[in-house]
Structure 1
Amino acid sequence: MSTPVLEARGISKYFADPVRVQVLRDISFALARGEFASVVGKSGCGKSTLLYILSTMDTDYEGTLLIDGEVMGTRTETELARVRNEKIGFVFQFHYLINEFSVLRNVMLPGEKLGRLAAPELEHRAYEKLRILGIADEALKLPNQLSGGQKQRVAIARALINDPLIIMGDEPTGNLDKKNSEVVFDIFQELAHTHQQALLIVTHDPDFAAKTQRVIEMEDGRIIR
């Protein structure tokens, strides 16, 4: 058995506002390389809170989180920032592109931060990611010159620039019409099948979830299926 890309062991989370409320209860599951999983459940059931912990952005939890077989709870914030940049790609409901930068530069930004590749090589890689997503012709445009579906594809290209082990999405099709949602789904499926990247996608879209390899259903802070 290969090491899971991501593993949660008994993760619980509390908010104090002003009384102590438990929002996640003993969450345990593992995600393998190339596995495409969706997380579903009603609003307020803890999906986004869980994703925030799994992405290492929230470190205030009980239990153990492993990414690529390594425990995250003992890492410094600097070390966690590097794990996020190197091993996790993020795609959100809102694309968070920088309008002052070209599409190409937006895609390159996480690679510049990681500092593993020289600028010409990074630019070449960014073009490759845009080509895979069918939007290389838009590389020199500004984000505000693109449609909503194109912007989300740029956001996916940006998430892929450092060849992460896992792609995490928080409602990545939430602002897209049916046609563009299907395009994004097909891209994700291709990433899992061809590039063996793991995907963990929080979604309210039952059609999207039904097509994924695995559905993780949450209710009241627990995994029920």
Structure 2
Amino acid sequence: MNSVILEAKHIYKQFYDPVKFDVLKDINFQVKAGEFVSVIGKSGCGKSTLLYILSTMDTDYQGELYVDGKKMTGLKEKELAAVRNEKIGFVFQFHYLLNEFTVLENILLPARKLAKKPEAALKDRAHFLLKTLDISKLAEKNPRQLSGGEKQRVAIARAMINEPAIIMGDEPTGNLDKRNSEIVFSTFQQLAQEFNQSLLIVTHDPEFAERTNRIIEMEDGRIIRQ
């Protein structure tokens, strides 16, 4: 039986514009180890707001959040930052690679920040990920030399470097053409199947969502299907 990696319990979130209104209403769900889950819904339904809470970036909510069995709700920012670096990998619509570094150095940045393993072990891990994602030839290149799909695969390798409990994505194929979107989807699928990696991906792409293990559909701040 797969362990629960992410759990949201009765999460509510209010905005003030100018009066108080609920943007998230009683959100409850789990993501288990190795599950590839997509979150869909129309713009404004609360998907991105939810992702900010689940990623521990937004702490102004009611309810409880657990990552890898540990309660996040109520932790101090320093503790949450440590959880984000060690337990959560991020892949965004824009890759946020640093042009002053090579591909290899970009991938190593979160691991060097975590500083839990010697440099040689970190480089071994980075090269393993480059090979796994079929981008070894890019290791010494500058991000400016890469295609959009290559940049996203580098971003995925960077997200994987600390062996996170879960990878969260915010429209990771939103900026890509069909061919590169397919490459990124296949990469995520490979991570779930071969590495038992949990993935929670917010997407506007119905074709992407339909091929994931499970769809969480949101409407007006609520989950209407999961």
The equivalent of 2:161 in structure 1 is: 161
Deviation at 1:170, TM superposition (A): 0.2
**Structure 1 match to 2:64:** 64
Name the structure 2 match of 1:197. Answer: 197
* Deviation of 1:84 (Å): 0.6
CA RMSD of aligned residues (A): 0.9
State how far apart, in whole Å, the 1-side matches of 2:187 and 2:109 are.
21
1:133 corresponds to 2:133: yes
Q: CA deviation at 1:2?
A: 5.0
Aligned partner letter, 2:80? L
2:4 is paired with a residue whose SS is coil
How far apart are 1:121 and its partner, in Å?
A: 1.5
Measured against aligned partners, the alpha-carbon deviations of 1:176-214 in whole angstroms (never above 9, x if no partner) come to 111111111111111111111111000000000000010
Identity of aligned residues (%): 65
Return structure 1 stretches of 4+ with deviation > 2 angstroms: none
Distance 1:31 1:147 in 2: 32
- Whole-angstrom CA distance in 2 between matches of 1:17 and 1:155: 35
Q: How many pairs were matched up?
A: 225
Mark the CA change 1:45 to 1:152 in structure 2 (over 3 Å): closer, same or farther: same
Shift of residue 36 of structure 1? 0.6
Higher mean C-alpha deviation, range 1-10 or range 148-157: 1-10
When the two structures are superposed, what TM-score results if normalisation uses the length of structure 2?
Answer: 0.97
- Deviation of 1:18 after TM superposition, in Å, equals 2.4
CA distance, structure 1, for counterparts of residue 178 and residue 2 of structure 2: 36
Q: Does residue 39 of the first structure (1) align with residue 39 of the second (2)?
A: yes
SS of equivalent residue, structure 1 residue 201:
strand
* Structure 1: unaligned runs, 5 residues or longer: none
Whether 1:25 and 2:25 are equivalent positions in the alignment is yes
Q: Which 5+ residue runs of structure 2 have no aligned equivalent? A: none
In the alignment, the residues of structure 2 paired with residue 2 and residue 183 of structure 1 have an alpha-carbon distance, to the nearest angstrom, of 27
Aligned to 2:212: 212
| Residues 1:77 and 2:65 aligned together | no
Q: Please, what TM-score do these two structures have when normalized by structure 1?
A: 0.98
Partners of 1:210 and 1:148 lie apart in 2 by 23
**Counterpart in 2 of 1:55?**
55
